[in-house]
Amino acid sequence: MLVEFEDYKFIEGGICAAKGFKAGGVNAGIKAGSTKKDLALISCEKKCAAAAIYTQNKVKGAPIAVTKRHLENGVAQAVIVNSGNANTCNENGIEIAEKMCVLTANALNIDDADIIVGSTGVIGQKLSIDPIQDKIPELASMLSESGSSDACEAIMTTDTRKKEVAVEFTLGGKTCHIGGISKGSGMINPNMATMLCFITTDAAIRAELLQKALKRTADITYNMVCVDGDTSTNDMACIMASGLAENKEITSEDGDYETFVNGLYAVMMNLARETARDGEGATRLIECAVKGAPSEEVARRAAKSVISSSLVKAALFAADANCGRILCALGYTEGDFDIDRTEVVLLSNKGSIKVYEDGVSLPYDEDTAHDILSADEVTIAVDLKSGFHRAVAWGCDLTYDYVKINAEYRS
């Protein structure tokens, strides 16, 4: 369920909701035996201002090195991305990523330096260019303004649902759009974004401000998600701005910039929530909302500690209101706050219970607690009572299926 925002209308279209963009996805047979779409292409009719953020893992996929180089000038016109193979730890990885860009450029008749390239899937296995080379011309020929959903499917790996959001809003009297698709289900503990996220907008905004907006928004959305504590080697979030909405170009951090950032937040926050909801084997979305922190950084750390705890995740899989595990996670959070002043409330659409206050765990009815925590979405509300700052983080429960999925991932 999307979280809605005043002045921002959620619309259909995903990455094709913004003017000038087309997309598509096909099955290239990158992973033997798979019939799902595994090669995606996003293209704009003109060169765009562009920005990206990347994984902080020391091991990085070859596509990241190529994309970083291509975006040094803040310009891009297309994205080519495959699933089924991460193109990481391969001796010819850079060569493959660059070849993907050249093939795409030839098919679209654009400059290969204006192409963003991404890969996701198994790490450490060689990626053959042959199936990609065979399918890129077909993919380029079938691009359409209704192709967002196909592109979204093509970037999925263990995802069980598509993650696709778009909003419409106004800048200076002009109607603007921001749309995004993302993938991510396991190996999710981002230090920048998510496994893969692609965003488009028709708002006119300078590349350096686009970069600032993307980083600022990622810090309070994707960087607040944890499924399993693993940071991927291929994490990348990219955004392209066509400017075709014809608003006055955003050149400073003024009111229009804030309006744009809020629209970006509406898209990225909902994509981040869906990433947590779709964690491998997950049965419920967990949100930890912290308030009363002495600083925003402490609020973020506390929220992330709780949703990252394997013990908290396991307890919520069983719908067990084990406040000791929550307090334990809060207790190892870096920051200056008094745990004996803290309050913890567990809630869902089935009700709420207070389980901890002023250094003491509180009595509650086990059956009522179990019912509340059996909902599809559960919130752990924490008040540190040590300041005025707040933050929200998202995770999921830890289930038997998580182990099964990852034990069988390469087979």
Instruction: Give the catalytic positions in this structure.
Output: 194
For residue 38 the two structure tokens come to 């595994």
Q: Which amino acid belongs to residue 112?
A: D
Question: For residue 45, what is the enclosing H or E element?
Answer: strand 39-54
In the structure encoding, which two tokens stand for residue 128, read together?
Answer: 């053959």
Distance CA 301, CA 161 (A): 29
CA-wise closest residue to 355 among 342, 337, 338: 342
- SS3 state at 64: helix
Residue carrying the six token digits 């299926």: 401
Closest alpha carbon to 286 in 272, 299, 266: 272
For the chain, the 3-state helix, strand and coil shares in percent, each to the nearest 5, are 35, 30, 35
Write out the DSSP string of 112-131. Answer: GGGEEEEEES-TTS---SHH
* Backbone φ, ψ for residue 343 (5° rounding): -125, 140
Tell me the sheet residues that pair with 95: none
Quick one: tokens of 214? 């993307």
Length of the chain: 411
Q: How many whole angstroms separate alpha carbon 282 and alpha carbon 275?
A: 11
Strands 115-120 and 75-83: parallel
The owner of tokens 């765990």 is 361
